[in-house]
Amino acid sequence: MTAVGIDAVEIRTGKLELDLAETFAPAKGEDPGKYTKGLGLHSSSFPDAYEDIVTMGANAAHRLMERKGLEPDDIGRIDVATESAFDNSKPVSTYIAGCLEQVYDGDFHHANKGERKFACVAGTQSIDDAYNWIRAGRHRGRKAIVVATDTALYARGDPGEATQGAGAVALLIGEDPNLVELSPEQGFGSADETDFLKPNQQFPSVDGKRSVQVYLARMREAVEDFESVWGEIEPGDFTLVPFHTPFPGMVRKAALLGFRHITRDTHIEEELAAEIGRQPRAEAFDDEAAFRDAISEYTDKLKETETYAAWYDDVIDPTLTISREVGNWYTGSVHVARVSGLKQALEAGEDLTGERLLVGSYGSGAQAEIHAETVQPGWEDEIAELNVDEQLESRYAISFEEYEHIHDVHNHDTDTQADAEEFTTPDAEFVFDGWGRMGE
């Protein structure tokens, strides 16, 4: 069977940087450790006044097409995943295609366009749609572009404010991919939840503490569902485990529970039992709360073991490097985690060809999806082409006052929107001028 997967990827960060320790924490009267150690975040990316989900997505897709030497005729579908859309009818993909048509001779009239919504998991769902389109043989040899683009902003004063971020990831999906092949096996955990929602409102209503528990519960279900088709996962099976990263501290919690799960009945459990005792089993408890307390006590001990620390440092930590600098990008977040892990491996001189990734996507509302990916021989060239470091280094560091101002601009405040014209806009990229989007 021909391999289908991610052929190439591009990342586009918002051009402003809010430093959480230096700028945000002092203004909030908080200890910087809450953000840097507790949440695991150093800074957030913000869009400048001339950037929005369309310009970030179009700039990412444009660089992807240029780098891969693609013309519009090579693309059979453009799907956008976002939870920051400003139009309830016309999909953001049409706006992005419109931008791209300003710089190519051809157009995208032949391409199927759509918009996917299921909070942060929609980026992966769009990749699934493209995968199914290709597997069904409807693609006529063409590729799909998936753009995951969001401005993940919270109301000022909301506990989620420290986890904000903004950026876009553009992914090229096709046959014989250069980066990763996607597994046909998937696992899902899905339930009607109301801990994070945006019913006709600009900022989400969030029950932050509960959202953490819902993330863990749905991920556990998705892992179990995935194992029912893939077989039981063991700790050495996957070289990297990129998960949805609203903030790295969330993934730290998921990793601990995940490791507890995958060491069951393997020789590692024997080693751990000798060191910290046997893990609790549900059968041994009459009461659900007592079982949960026992798990929490066990995972507290687990994180102090060398066995766990070595696994975490190899498999999880490399996936969090970019996220620490950019915050939550909602639909793009898990795709940033994949890039981060592969980039760390490239820089460490590791050859990952043929190695497997276990990818955990999650969206509030709520749904988790687990699938596997196999790294392809072209991965090093693809990752080496990224200019993420340059983009991150060239961000403009904003003061707290500038942060409040730009937050208002992106809150569609009509008085402050006019200020967009005060900003100097760059050449050779798509920018939002308050009335329309200008091409190169």
Residues 273-312 that bind ligand HMG (CB under 6 A): none
- Which residues are CB-contacts of 411 (< 8 A; sequence separation ≥ 6)? 153, 202, 203
Query: Which of 17, 62, 120, 181 does the annotation list as catalytic?
Result: 120
Nearer to ligand HMG, 181 or 317 (CB): 317
Burial of 64 (0-12, 13-18, 19+ CB in 10 A): buried
The tokens 């179009």 sit on which residue?
58
Nearer to ligand HMG, 330 or 432 (CB): 330
3 state DSSP class of 243: strand
Q: What are phi and psi of 397, to 5 degrees?
A: -80, 120
**Residue 29 — φ and ψ, nearest 5°?**
70, 30
Q: For the segment 163-202, give every residue that binds ligand HMG (CB under 6 A).
A: 163, 196
Element (H, E) at 244: none
User: 428: cis peptide before it, omega within 30°?
Assistant: no
Q: Shortest gap between Cβ of 328 and ligand HMG (angstroms)?
A: 5
**Least gap, CB of 265 to ligand HMG (angstroms):** 28
Catalytic site residue from 10, 83, 181, 380 = 83
Whole-angstrom distance, CA of residue 267 vs CA of residue 289: 28
- Of the residues 139, 244, 335, 371, only one is catalytic, namely 244
Look up 110 and say whether it is catalytic: no
The yes-or-no answer on residue 109 being catalytic is no
Is 361 a residue that touches ligand HMG (CB under 6 A)? no
CA nearest 52: which of 383, 377, 435?
435
Using CB under 6 A as the binding rule, the residues of this chain from 61 to 90 that contact ligand HMG are 83
Q: Is 326 a binder of ligand HMG (CB under 6 A)? A: no
Instruction: Output the CA torsion sign for 210, 214, 217, 223.
Output: negative
Q: Which residue in 330, 403, 430, 432 binds ligand HMG (CB under 6 A)? A: 330
329 binds ligand HMG (CB under 6 A): no
For ligand HMG, the binding residues in 211-240 under the rule CB under 6 A are 211-212, 215
DSSP 240: B
DSSP state of 429: S
Amino acid at 96: I
Residue 362 sits in the site that holds ligand HMG (CB under 6 A):
yes
- Confirm whether 139 is a catalytic residue: no
Closest distance to ligand HMG from the beta carbon of 366 (Å): 8
Point out which residues bind ligand HMG (CB under 6 A). Answer: 31, 33-34, 37-39, 83, 119-120, 159-160, 162-163, 196, 206, 208-209, 211-212, 215, 244, 246-247, 249-250, 328, 330, 362-364
